C-alpha cells in the first residue's frame, strides 16, 4: 500500500471526506496491516484535527489480515450503532487479502453474515498490480453496499465529493429491475453488461434474494440491444414451437414498447415495494437520439470492444471516439473528456 496511488492517494482522498463530517457524525479508523487494530477510537466529526492526524500517521507494512480487520470494523460499528442513522463501514484497500479469511468464498460468507447487523458497506479500491477486483466486488455486492475504484484525485473528488450522497447514503436496498419487451415490437433483445447482477425471473419477487443498493441522487443506466420485429439478423436463433404453451402476442397492448418493474426495500425494512412503468412505442434513429444516450452508447461499445465482443466487431476505436466527441455535451466536470482521451489512448496502441 506504500505506492503513490495507494496509501498516499487514500490519505488525500479521505481528507475530502473528513471536511464534510458534522459534529453528530462519528468516525473510527481500523487498520489490518500485520494484525487488525484500532488507530482512532469513535471520534466526533467536529474533531477534524484528531481525525486528520490519525489519517496522516497511517503507514503501510506487514501482511494484510483483511478478514480480521473487517470483523473488528463491524464490531465497532455495532457497538456505536445509531438507530435510523447511516451506519457504514468504508473499506479502503488494494484488494489483496492474504491472511485469515481471504478466498472469495470465505469473504462472501463473512459479509453475508455481517450485513444482518444493519451496517452498510462501501468498498474503495486503490492501486494496481495485486488489485483483486473480483474480491472487492463480491464484498460490495454481498454487504448491502457499493464499490468504486479510485486512481486519481479527480476520481476521489467525484466519489467522495460530487457523488458523496450517492456513495455514502443508501436510500433503497435490494433494488431489482425487470424489463419486459412487447413481442409485437421486439423479437429479440439482450442486456449489455450486468452479467454478475443477473437474477432468475422467480427471484424478482423473492425478498430473501439479495440485490443492489441505490444512494441519494444515484441513477442507474441499463442498455439493451434489440432486434425489432421484421428485421433479419444472424444472431436470431431458430426455436421449435412449444407444444403445450401458447406464445401468441397479446393484441391489447399494440402501442406499448416495454414495461419496467422496479422493486426495492427501504433501508430498515425487510419487505419490498413494487413500482410499474409502461413505455409507449416511438420510432427514432440513432442520429435523433439524445446526447446522453449517444454518449452512453459509446461507453458501452468501448467496453465490448475491450472484451473482444462479437457484437462490436464492426466498430473500431475511431468510430467510438467520433460518437463520444459528438455527444460530449457541456461536460461540466470533464468526465466525458477524460473518457474520450482514454479511447484515443487505446486507439493509438491498436
Query: Do 67 and 32 belong together in one domain?
Result: yes
The candidate with the shortest Cα–Cα distance to 153, out of 20, 3, 9, is 9
Same domain, 222 and 127: no
Who wins on pLDDT, 285 or 321?
A: 321
Burial 21-30 (b: 16+ CB within 10 A, else e): beeebbbbbb
Q: Which domain holds residue 26?
A: 7-168
Of 251, 280, 309, which marks where a domain is finished? 280
Report which of residues 341 and 69 the model is more confident about: 341
Q: Which three cell numbers mark 37?
A: 487494530
Q: Is 115 part of a structural domain of the chain?
A: yes
CATH number for position 71:
3.40.50.410
Most confident of 49-53, 192-196, 212-216: 49-53
pLDDT in tens, 152-183: 898 888 888 888 777 788 889 999 999 999 99
pLDDT digits (tens, 9 = 90+) for 182-201: 999 999 999 998 887 888 99
Q: Are residues 158 and 305 in the same domain?
A: no
Q: How large is the average pLDDT for residues 313-335?
A: 93
Does pLDDT of 205 surpass 70? yes
317 occurs within a structural domain:
yes
Same domain flag for 141 and 66: yes
Beta bridge partners of 212: 175
* Residue entry with cell 496511488: 5
When pLDDT is averaged across residues 271-295 and rounded to a whole number, the result is: 91
Asked if 12 and 102 sit in the same domain, the reply is: yes
Mean of per-residue pLDDT scores for the chain: 86
Report yes or no on 35 lying in a domain.
Answer: yes
Task: Look at residue 206 and tell me if it is in a domain.
Answer: yes
pLDDT of 99 reads: 47
In a domain, 1, yes or no: no
- Does 312 reside within a domain? yes
Q: Is residue 241 part of a domain?
A: yes
Residues 41 and 125 in one domain: yes
Residue 238 has pLDDT above 70, yes or no: yes
Please determine, for residue 246, whether its predicted confidence score (pLDDT) is greater than 90. Answer: no
pTM for the whole thing?
A: 0.81
H or E stretch at 340: helix 335-348
Closest C-alpha to 89, from 106, 61, 103, 110: 110
Confidence bin at 69 (pLDDT 50/70/90): confident
Average pLDDT over residues 131-151: 77
Instruction: Give the chain's domain count.
Output: 3
Amino acid at each position: 500500500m506504500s505506492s503513490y496511488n495507494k496509501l498516499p492517494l487514500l490519505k488525500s482522498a479521505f481528507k475530502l471526506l473528513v471536511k464534510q463530517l458534522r459534529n453528530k457524525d462519528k468516525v473510527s479508523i481500523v487498520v489490518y496491516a500485520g494484525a487488525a487494530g484500532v488507530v482512532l477510537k469513535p471520534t466526533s466529526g467536529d474533531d477534524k484535527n484528531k481525525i486528520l492526524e490519525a489519517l496522516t500517521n497511517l503507514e503501510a507494512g506487514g501482511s494484510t489480515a483483511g478478514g480480521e480487520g473487517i470483523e473488528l470494523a463491524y464490531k465497532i460499528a455495532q457497538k456505536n450503532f445509531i438507530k435510523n442513522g447511516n451506519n457504514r463501514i468504508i473499506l479502503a484497500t488494494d484488494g489483496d487479502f492474504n491472511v485469515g479469511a481471504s478466498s472469495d468464498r470465505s469473504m462472501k460468507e463473512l459479509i453475508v453474515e455481517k450485513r444482518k447487523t444493519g451496517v452498510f458497506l462501501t468498498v474503495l479500491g486503490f492501486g494496481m498490480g495485486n488489485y483483486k477486483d473480483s474480491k472487492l466486488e463480491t464484498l460490495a455486492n454481498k454487504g448491502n453496499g457499493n464499490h468504486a475504484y479510485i486512481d486519481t484525485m479527480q476520481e476521489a473528488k467525484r466519489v467522495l465529493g460530487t457523488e458523496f450522497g450517492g456513495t455514502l447514503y443508501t436510500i433503497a436496498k435490494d433494488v431489482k429491475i425487470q424489463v419486459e419487451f412487447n413481442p409485437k415490437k421486439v423479437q429479440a433483445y439482450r442486456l449489455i453488461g450486468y452479467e454478475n447482477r443477473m437474477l432468475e425471473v422467480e427471484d424478482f419477487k423473492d425478498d430473501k434474494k439479495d440485490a443492489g443498493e441505490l444512494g441519494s441522487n444515484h441513477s442507474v443506466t441499463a442498455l439493451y440491444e434489440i432486434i425489432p420485429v421484421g428485421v433479419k439478423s444472424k444472431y436470431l436463433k431458430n426455436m421449435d414451437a412449444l407444444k403445450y404453451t401458447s406464445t401468441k402476442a397479446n393484441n391489447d397492448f399494440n402501442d406499448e414498447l416495454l414495461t419496467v418493474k422496479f422493486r426495492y426495500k427501504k433501508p430498515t425494512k425487510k419487505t419490498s415495494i413494487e413500482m410499474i412503468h409502461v413505455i409507449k412505442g416511438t420510432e427514432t434513429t440513432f442520429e435523433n437520439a439524445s446526447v446522453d444516450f449517444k454518449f452512453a452508447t459509446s461507453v458501452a461499445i468501448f467496453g465490448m470492444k475491450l472484451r473482444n465482443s462479437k457484437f462490436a466487431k464492426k466498430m473500431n476505436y475511431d468510430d467510438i471516439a467520433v460518437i463520444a466527441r459528438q455527444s460530449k455535451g457541456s461536460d461540466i466536470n470533464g468526465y466525458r473528456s477524460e473518457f474520450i482521451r482514454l479511447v484515443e489512448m487505446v486507439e493509438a496502441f491498436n
